Amino acid sequence: MIRDVSLVNLRRFIFALYLALIVGIALAGGLYFLDARAEYGRLKTIQAESRRRVAEAEVRLKYQEQVLERLRTDPAYVEKVIRRKLGYARPEEYVFRFEN
């Protein structure tokens, strides 16, 4: 009878040990999953920001390509840019500069 009681207690102990082990593994897996999910969210945010920056850079590139093409082919545009950026004027012209 004592042997039966100790055997039942041993089985309960082993069962409790396995249950604790399974619960511990489940908790560790859950924490790992939550951490992975948070990292995934951060990476999605970074990806969205990177895509936005790439789109902005593509728009700037397209504009700069248009300006470059005009500088190569349009002499009137080249003259306009030189006058505006460098402040050049023809000999019979006067340039007035005002402070803002």
Across 91-97, average pLDDT: 79
Flag whether 7 is in a domain.
Answer: yes
Nearest to 71, CA basis, from 59, 80, 62: 80
pLDDT at residue 97 is higher than 80: no
Residue with tokens 């850079």: 57
Q: What is the pLDDT of residue 68?
A: 96
Q: What is the pLDDT of residue 45?
A: 97
Asked if 100 and 94 touch (Cβ cutoff 8 Å), the reply is no
Domain limits for position 64 = 2-86
Asked if 83 and 89 touch (Cβ cutoff 8 Å), the reply is yes
Flag whether 98 is in a domain.
Answer: no
pTM of the model: 0.57
The half-sphere exposure of 42 on its side-chain side, counting CA atoms within 13 A, is 6
Q: What is the pLDDT of residue 58?
A: 98
Flag whether 94 is in a domain.
Answer: no
Flag whether 47 is in a domain.
Answer: yes
Flag whether 46 is in a domain.
Answer: yes
Q: Show Cβ contacts of residue 95 under 8 Å, excluding neighbours closer than 6 positions.
A: 87, 89
Structural domain tally of the chain? 1
Flag whether 74 is in a domain.
Answer: yes
Indicate the pLDDT class of residue 3, thresholds 50, 70 and 90.
Answer: low
Residue pLDDT, tens place only, 47-67: 999 999 999 999 999 999 999
